[in-house]
């Protein structure tokens, strides 16, 4: 479970970095920046849905520490 979350987070960061690279390189004239940002949003939504599913299925348990 942790590995999947870390991989999705790394993919989100890689997509964000590539969007920044395309924005700087192309100057915003091509659609590559938009495509990579769309991919980043899709990956973020997938990660959020996966976390909710994991919580609902009991794969993720909140850490409850006594006060």
- Please indicate, yes or no, if residue 46 is contained in any of the structural domains: yes
Other beta carbons less than 10 A from residue 66's beta carbon? 3
8-14 long-range contacts, Cβ below 8 Å, gap at least 24? Answer: 8/43, 8/46, 8/47, 8/50, 9/47, 11/43, 12/40, 12/43, 12/44, 12/47
What does the pLDDT profile of the chain (67 residues) look like in tens digits? 889 899 999 999 999 999 999 999 988 788 899 999 999 999 999 999 999 999 999 888 888 777 7
Is residue 11, in this structure, part of any structural domain at all?
Answer: yes
Number of domains in the chain: 1
pLDDT of res. 45: 96
* Domain assignment present for 28: yes
Residue 66 domain-assigned (yes or no):
no
Where in the sequence is the domain holding 29, given as residue range(s)? 2-57
62 in a structural domain: no
12-23 pLDDT, tens digit per residue, is 999 999 999 999
Residue 62 has what pLDDT? 83
Q: What does the pLDDT read at residue 64? A: 75
């Amino acid at each position: 479970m942790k590995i999947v979350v870390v991989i999705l987070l790394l993919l989100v960061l890689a997509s964000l970095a590539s969007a920044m690279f395309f924005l700087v390189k192309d100057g915003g004239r091509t659609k590559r920046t938009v495509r990579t940002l769309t991919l980043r949003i899709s990956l973020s939504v997938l990660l959020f849905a996966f976390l909710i599913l994991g919580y609902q299925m009991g794969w993720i348990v909140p850490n409850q520490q006594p006060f």
